[in-house]
Structure 1
Amino acid sequence: MAEVAVIGAGLSALAAAHVLHDHGLQVRLYEREENVGGRATTRRRAGFCFDPGAQYIHGNAPASDALLLRRFASPELLAIAKPVWTFDSQDRLQEGDPRQNAIPRWTYRHGLQTLAELMARELPVATGCEIARLSYLQPGWRLFSTAGQVVAEVPAVLLTLPAPQAAALLSASELPPTLQQRLQAELGRSRYRPLLSLALAWPERVLPPTPYYALVNSDKAHPISWLAREEEKGPARVPPGWSLLIVQLAPDYSRAHWSWDDQALAEATTALVSRLLGRPLPAPDFCDVQRWPLALPEGETLLDLQALHAVSAPYGLFFSGDAFRGGRAHLALAVGQESAFQLLAHWR
């Protein structure tokens, strides 16, 4: 009975779905994973709770402030107290930009995925349901599962997948040839970075407290892009007496080491962290590896949302996601709302 099928259930999809629902449209989200949130996800392993993808949500942004602080306000919401410092290719650490550090960094006591779960409570979401193919009905759309079964027929579709995945879905779909060619050409311009994200834990005596919450590489010339102390987000993140580092490796390093097994990656990353922190670290007591093949779009390949909709909207096909504004969580919320309002403008 949905009027709009939203493919994907990441933050942009959830933000868009709420706008559409608020304006009286029936929406239903289809997510191939078993959980909502996309890369704003949380893992719970061996007593540790950590975010292997998005690390926090920027405050002082209209979309995220309205959603986090008002509509989905929760006692779970926390501001990360300590600042972010920087480091360069020579492992030199220095204090970060005070203006950037003055902007709130929001997270949740039990993981960033909490926001997606709060947003999904009010929406019909089919998890574990991958849409493998679309068929244009002139007008409307038919959605098919990977087994070839009809999942739904709807007047409009909002596609929120990363651009390469959206292009692959449309390539397998039945669209008017001219539309398919133009969409494939536009989506094909987007380029994504891979990312290896490791969670490494030691007893807290091995990693004493620091004046910073995280370190970010400032010159884009280090094998590590980001290193953060997960316990700084809240006491529920680690068992008592433990410290957990989130280490996100640079795109080129990630590409070069993508096929390494988890143990080899843990050993190599521990060596990099030891050099960066200036202290030899033993093998971690706990390791978790997350591979993100489509972690972030390259900034210079971001797509024009309005120009794409000028082509697709007459067919009832719309887009959202990181391919248009970038991979930060607050941007995902904002572009989801923007896409929804563009859909509503066409609907009316």
Structure 2
Amino acid sequence: MSSDLDVAVVGAGVAGLALAHRLRAAGRAVHVFESAEHVGGRMASLRRDGYLIDTGAEMIGSCGYPAMWRLIREFGMSEVEVPAIGADLAMWREGRAHPHVGDPRGLLAGAALSRVSRLALVRLLGLAALRRKEYDTDAPEATPLGHRAIADVTRGDLHDYLFQPLTGGFFGWDTERACAGPLLSHLLAVGPTSTFRTFRDGMDVLARKLAEGVEISTGVTVDEVVATGSGARVFAGGAVVNARTVVLAVPAPVAAAVHAQAPDYVRACEFRPMIKVICLLGRPVAPAGGGQSFALAVPTVENPELAGIVLDDRKHPGRVPPERGLVTLVAGPSVSAELLSATDGEIAATLTEQAERYVPGLADALRATVVTRFRHGLPMPTPAAMAARPDFVRRPPSTVEYAGDWWLLRPSSEAAVRSAELVAERLAVPRTAGVSAVARG
């Protein structure tokens, strides 16, 4: 690696790799720095004893993921390689799992909601659909709901047995502080949960394809990035590298710590921790009450410690050896921060003990566990971030840029890849800003 680079990308998650891919196609020379020993970030997978384990992202949408599908088709992948999961999501209430959550069938079957709450849901989504163009996932701050919190927009059962468990279990959000507009934009875009898909060969397959041919230094931590008049300096692994452009494709709190000149929006973006326990089982298990759902959401009012259970062996049969099982347990948003300092054994013991109530026989079937923890798990759309975003988007191109799902306040691989497209467009614009704009980052 030369000490003088054209573009230095910090972070080999899907955002950083997608950006490197786009820039290389445009003729730019790119080098990627990654602190971990592998690529993929929050979209990585492990392979152990015949089990295929997704450590971060679990699925993508058939709809609402256009940037992801552009990449998938660009690499010549067929729908066989990105199969439909073919099962739905269930909600726990009153001692059993209620299927068809997030699916039109749920409005008829109940899906753990009272009749009044189902009517409130139809009204909420119906009014949003009438103003569909104003719920743009590229402009999360501009929805008709403004900065109203999820807990303010949804009440009673609708909050406790739908919106809180969905956002808490899948995103780790605090519904008292997370804004509802970006969530509704996401829900309108992706449609029913029964249309979700996964990558047959692991959620890291796209990251691995993107990494091919890219110069990547893994196991190298970037400590500081300093903008200069003609570029930026990268302090990494005890060395100093000069680059014409640096892109921080890392969680916003990390970007703010690395680059002291980061814009207000970067500092306003808040991330929530995520902790998972992946259980390698000697046989398949099923939620109490049966059913064919691939995931079970557990409301905080039912259990504050366990937010969700994903039956990975139902996502695709190739995830496990024959007649084995694979289950992921997701820690509740109210305890995740506390569990970050616990040992893997303590985390596994806590969540598996809680899960036995919902998945009987889990303890007897358990063979091994894998604990994954992300201090900066997923971005949460707070009022402060929403207010600061317009200036961030309008700022002139700089020698220090940023990429990641937080760019769009949408916790998804789609937002990560879409941010890469938007940043690539920014870097293609001739720089006409003065030194003061460059120094701002």
TM > 0.5 fold call: yes
Structure 1 residue corresponding to 2:306, chosen from 224, 230, 234: 224
Q: Which residue of 2 aligns with 1:333?
A: 417
Q: Do the aligned residues in 2 keep the contact of 1:207 with 1:243 (CA within 8 Å)?
A: no
Per-residue Cα deviation, 1:39-59 (whole angstroms, up to 9, x for no partner) = 001122343220121112223
Q: Which residue of 1 aligns with 2:435?
A: none
| 2:241 maps to 1:114 | no
Q: Do the aligned residues in 1 keep the contact of 2:286 with 2:360 (CA within 8 Å)?
A: no
Cα gap change, 1:30 to 1:263, in 2 (>3 Å): closer
Q: Which residue of 2 aligns with 1:174?
A: none
Rounded Cα–Cα distance in structure 2 between residues aligned with 1:205 and 1:126? 39
1:274 to partner: Cα distance: 1.8
Residue 120 of structure 1 aligns with an amino acid whose one-letter code is: A
Rounded Cα–Cα distance in structure 2 between residues aligned with 1:16 and 1:306? 22
Summarize the alignment of residues 37-76 of structure 1 with structure 2, pairs less than 5 Å apart. Answer: 37-60=40-63, 61-73=65-77
Q: Which residue of 2 aligns with 1:4?
A: 7
| 2:63 maps to 1:97 | no
Cα gap change, 1:91 to 1:36, in 2 (>3 Å): farther
Q: Do the aligned residues in 1 keep the contact of 2:283 with 2:365 (CA within 8 Å)?
A: no
Q: Which residue of 1 aligns with 2:228?
A: 137
Q: Which residue of 2 aligns with 1:323?
A: 406
SS of structure 2 residue aligned to 1:58: coil
1:312 to partner: Cα distance: 6.4
Per-residue Cα deviation, 1:54-101 (whole angstroms, up to 9, x for no partner) = 112223222111111343526882314332323146554222222413
Rounded Cα–Cα distance in structure 2 between residues aligned with 1:120 and 1:201? 29
SS of structure 2 residue aligned to 1:285: strand
SS of structure 1 residue aligned to 2:230: coil
Rounded Cα–Cα distance in structure 2 between residues aligned with 1:146 and 1:198? 31
Q: Which residue of 2 aligns with 1:288?
A: 370
Rounded Cα–Cα distance in structure 1 between residues aligned with 2:381 and 2:97? 26
Residue 249 of structure 2 aligns with an amino acid whose one-letter code is: T
1:254 to partner: Cα distance: 1.4
Q: Which residue of 1 aligns with 2:128?
A: none
Residue 122 of structure 1 aligns with an amino acid whose one-letter code is: G
Rounded Cα–Cα distance in structure 2 between residues aligned with 1:299 and 1:4? 29
SS of structure 2 residue aligned to 1:332: helix
SS of structure 2 residue aligned to 1:78: coil
| 2:106 maps to 1:23 | no
Structure 2 residue corresponding to 1:194, chosen from 270, 273, 283: 273
Cα gap change, 1:259 to 1:135, in 2 (>3 Å): closer
Rounded Cα–Cα distance in structure 2 between residues aligned with 1:257 and 1:243? 25
Residue 402 of structure 2 aligns with an amino acid whose one-letter code is: F
Rounded Cα–Cα distance in structure 1 between residues aligned with 2:360 and 2:324? 20
1:136 to partner: Cα distance: 2.8
Residue 12 of structure 1 aligns with an amino acid whose one-letter code is: A
Cα gap change, 1:102 to 1:221, in 2 (>3 Å): same
Q: Which residue of 2 aligns with 1:85?
A: 89
Deviates most, 320-329 or 129-138? 129-138
Per-residue Cα deviation, 1:113-138 (whole angstroms, up to 9, x for no partner) = 11100011032222222222223331
Q: Do the aligned residues in 1 keep the contact of 2:198 with 2:315 (CA within 8 Å)?
A: no
1:317 to partner: Cα distance: 1.4
Identity %: 24
TM-score (normalizing by structure 2) = 0.68
Rounded Cα–Cα distance in structure 2 between residues aligned with 1:266 and 1:32? 26
Structure 2 gap ranges (5+): 104-190, 433-441
SS of structure 1 residue aligned to 2:309: strand
Residue 322 of structure 1 aligns with an amino acid whose one-letter code is: D
Residue 323 of structure 1 aligns with an amino acid whose one-letter code is: W
Structure 2 residue corresponding to 1:344, chosen from 417, 421, 428: 428
Q: Alignment length, in residue pairs?
A: 334
Cα gap change, 1:190 to 1:204, in 2 (>3 Å): same
| 2:257 maps to 1:168 | yes
SS of structure 1 residue aligned to 2:377: strand
Q: Which residue of 2 aligns with 1:299?
A: 381
Structure 2 residue corresponding to 1:156, chosen from 227, 232, 245: 245
Cα gap change, 1:221 to 1:52, in 2 (>3 Å): farther
1:153 to partner: Cα distance: 1.8
Per-residue Cα deviation, 1:278-335 (whole angstroms, up to 9, x for no partner) = 667437221111111110111225466663254463x411111122222211221111
TM-score (normalizing by structure 1) = 0.85
Residue 297 of structure 2 aligns with an amino acid whose one-letter code is: V
SS of structure 2 residue aligned to 1:268: helix
Rounded Cα–Cα distance in structure 1 between residues aligned with 2:39 and 2:284? 36
Q: Do the aligned residues in 1 keep the contact of 2:282 with 2:325 (CA within 8 Å)?
A: yes
Q: Do the aligned residues in 2 keep the contact of 1:14 with 1:120 (CA within 8 Å)?
A: yes
Rounded Cα–Cα distance in structure 1 between residues aligned with 2:236 and 2:6? 18
